[in-house]
Amino acid sequence: MEPIIATEDLKKVYRVGKVEVPALRGVTLSIEEGEFVAVVGPSGCGKSTLLHVLGGLTRPTSGKVLVDGNDLFALSDGERTRFRRHKIGFVFQRFNLLPTLTAADNIRLAQHIGNGCNPHRFEAVTTLLGITDRLGQRPNEMSGGELQRVAIARAVVCEPKILLADEPTGNLDSENSRIVLDMMRAVNREFRQTIMMITHNPEAAAVADRIIEMRDGRVISK
Ligand SMILES: Nc1ncnc2c1ncn2[C@@H]1O[C@H](COP(=O)(O)OP(=O)(O)OP(=O)(O)O)[C@@H](O)[C@H]1O
Ligand SMILES: [Mg+2]
């Protein structure tokens, strides 16, 4: 079976005025469908850049990204946006929920945007994430751990093949981190959700099936 994500010699150089900042210096890796992978490494080594490139949010300077067999950056911008909405869910450190909407409406909005999304999935996802009694609350009425569980529900409700998470426990205390990690594991197990999670936290990385270690724009072990 071909990997769900494969990259070939990915490079990314940011240009800031006349200064060039190399963020990825040749990354080749592959992730199998259903795998839960953690990406670790020091601040500034290129983890978020890699996640943004794999998710189609940032164009690499050179190299190739294949997602589910599709050459991501050979697609037009419109095709890539549609492809991303369909195949990839994102979770960030800062939750990024819409503040005026309830938890339920944040999740339903994702279902509405995700064309052809199965409406029956709402219940399975909110039950698995343990948020059924929080659905009427707005973001300012929820704890960090609850907000992240809603954000994960929103990210996976349309059954994307891939979940990309950038420090999902970065704003949480250890108890809430534990809960969110357990939920990530459950989503991986119950839905066979492929997950790539960036983390600074060794306890978080230990939850994954495999750890990819980066340093200075390169993968040093995988
Ligand atoms: N939009 C940007 N413009 C210019 N340089 C950037 C941009 N984003 C990141 N960089 C630079 O690219 C390098 C890699 O950044 P990146 O955010 O990928 O690191 P990271 O491993 O996620 O770090 P952290 O653990 O602190 O989040 C850094 O040197 C950073 O300063
Ligand atoms: Mg980062």
Which protein residue's CA is at the shortest distance from atom 28 of ligand 1? 44
The rounded distance, in Å, linking the Cα atoms of 151 and 132 is 14
CA-wise closest residue to 41 among 55, 58, 30, 27: 27
Question: How does pLDDT run across 176-191, given as a tens digit for each residue?
Answer: 999 999 999 999 999 8
Q: What is the CA radius of gyration of the chain?
A: 17
Q: Which atom of ligand 1 is the closest one to the Cα of 15?
A: 4
Give the three-state DSSP class for 165.
strand
Which protein residue's CA is at the shortest distance from atom 19 of ligand 1? 44
Answer whether 46 contacts ligand 1 (Cβ < 6 A).
Answer: yes
Angle between helices 174-190 and 144-156 (to 10 degrees): 20
Ligand with an atom nearest the CA of residue 40: 1
The residues, any chain, with a CB within 8 Å of residue 138's CB and separated by 6 or more, are: 99, 100, 101, 102, 103
Ligand 2 center to 5 CA (angstroms): 20
Residue 195 phi, psi (nearest 5): -130, 135
State the pLDDT at residue 222: 82
Give the three-state DSSP class for 167.
coil
Question: How does pLDDT run across 72-104, given as a tens digit for each residue?
Answer: 999 999 999 999 989 999 999 998 999 999 999
CA-wise closest residue to 12 among 49, 39, 48, 44: 49
What residue segments make up the domains of the chain, in order of their start? 5-221
Ligand 1 pocket test target in 11, 13, 14, 94 with most atoms within 8 Å of CB: 14
CA-wise closest residue to 220 among 4, 13, 47: 47
Q: Report residues of the chain scoring pLDDT below 70.
A: none
Ligand 1 pocket test target in 49, 59, 200, 214 with most atoms within 8 Å of CB: 49
The rounded distance, in Å, linking the Cα atoms of 151 and 168 is 9
Q: Which fold has domain 5-221?
A: Rossmann fold (3.40.50)
CA-wise closest residue to 85 among 49, 59, 109: 109
Ligand with an atom nearest the CA of residue 47: 1
Ligand 2 center to 133 CA (angstroms): 32
